[in-house]
Structure 1
């Protein structure tokens, strides 16, 4: 989901299903949020990052923010969410200063 403040695509999202058959990867560029939902009993999820993990900069947006409207492939009753994910703010509650800015490359 595009969380770059000022972007014409701000708040828009796309969903992709990854599996162990096609072996595809998904690149999430800087300025975009991501989340995932495991649809099987077991899953291997690996991140490749552009920088070292910094817990102080770890942030997020609530998984069920109605203004974003992500269509998750499971019913809410079937989801198992971490305490952290349950307490994240709505995108509209995040201070603009905490969001990355949209920059036009000319």
Structure 2
């Protein structure tokens, strides 16, 4: 019996297409599906390839979320240093408008945001660097997301920005049907807000 071996480099390249987005460090990761009549295999995370794209830490936590109703907004969440986290956000079911806001104090795109549509059909993920806030709006009912985090949840470091923050002027694609009381209570930015200083 003869086996054909692929090199590790060939295997990694074949599984991801990574695209730079307008905010430095923010990446779109498109997973390559390997499938046949039985179904498919999709690699969600690869430390070797993603280390070249800015993921330079171990995975500390993996979270799975479910959101029932179309139009729901969650966010805009982040953690202060030294618990700032890199996130890889994938949509396993449904469709979301996934958004990252640059909060890095020294960034030329400070308070700029960028959004991508993620779905179970396009097999895409958003790789979000440290110093960004993250949020999303569901574009369908019954949405499931999978998050890889480089830092564990730290309640004392948890923070957020109001999803209706006027300085961001986010054009949510749908009327906001639901937003938690916790997220609605996040403050608006004052004129003195200078961002997150990463250590």
Q: TM-score, normalised by structure 2?
A: 0.46
Larger radius of gyration: 2
CA gap 1:37/1:51 in 2 versus in 1, 3 angstroms: same
Q: CA deviation at 1:93?
A: 6.7
**Which residue pairs with 1:101 in the alignment?**
197
- Point out which structure has higher relative CO (alpha carbons under 8 A, 6+ apart): 1
- Provide the alpha-carbon RMSD of the alignment: 2.0
CA gap 1:84/1:62 in 2 versus in 1, 3 angstroms: same
Residue aligned with 1:84, SS? helix
Which has the larger share of helix? 1
Q: Structure 2: 5+ residue runs without aligned partners?
A: 1-100
Q: TM-score, normalised by structure 1?
A: 0.83
Q: Structure 1: 5+ residue runs without aligned partners?
A: none
**Which residue pairs with 1:91 in the alignment?**
189
- How many residues align? The count is 99
Which has the larger share of strand? 2
Runs of 4+ deviating beyond 4 Å: 93-96
